[in-house]
Amino acid sequence: MSQIEAQYNEFTNLITQTISNVDVDLLIKIMYLERKLPDAPPMVELTIDYNPGTNIKNKSEAIRAKYGFPMNVGEHGLTLVNQMSVSLIEELSKDRDVKFISGKATPASY
């Protein structure tokens, strides 16, 4: 393994230690897009999986009330599509009922 690969692994491990319930690759992609295109937060399709027994309807209503995001409600979680930042995803991940957050990020339209 090269020195660069070892540093990358250290970097991703540090992120996982900080936010263990969010896909590291998603966070890295969002950070990259935030820096490359600072005038528009990336467009993110976010999937939030909740722990068993969580009232998904209550979670969707709380997120909609606070952020106004359109979303799809599934059996075990939510799918949100909107412009998002790493700090917003970090905030969402702090909900103790969140099992894991994953998704896709693309450049937002200007």
* CA–CA–CA angle 72, 80, 48 (5° rounding): 90
In the prediction, which pLDDT does 1 show? 83
Q: Is the dihedral of CA 83, 88, 89, 95 positive or negative?
A: negative
Count, residues in the chain: 110
Model pTM score? 0.92
Query: If we measure between CA atoms, which residue out of 69, 101, 64 comes closest to residue 86?
Result: 101
* 36-89 pLDDT per residue, tens: 999 889 999 999 999 999 999 999 999 999 999 889 999 889 999 999 999 999
The reported pLDDT for the residue numbered 60 is 95
pLDDT at position 110 over 70: no
Which domains occur in the chain, in start order?
3-106 (3.30.70)
CB 93 within 8 A of CB 87: no
> What distance in Å separates the CA atoms of residue 28 and residue 9, rounded to the nearest whole number?
12
Q: What are the tokens at 92?
A: 């969402």
What residues pair up with 82 in beta bridges, in sequence order? 44
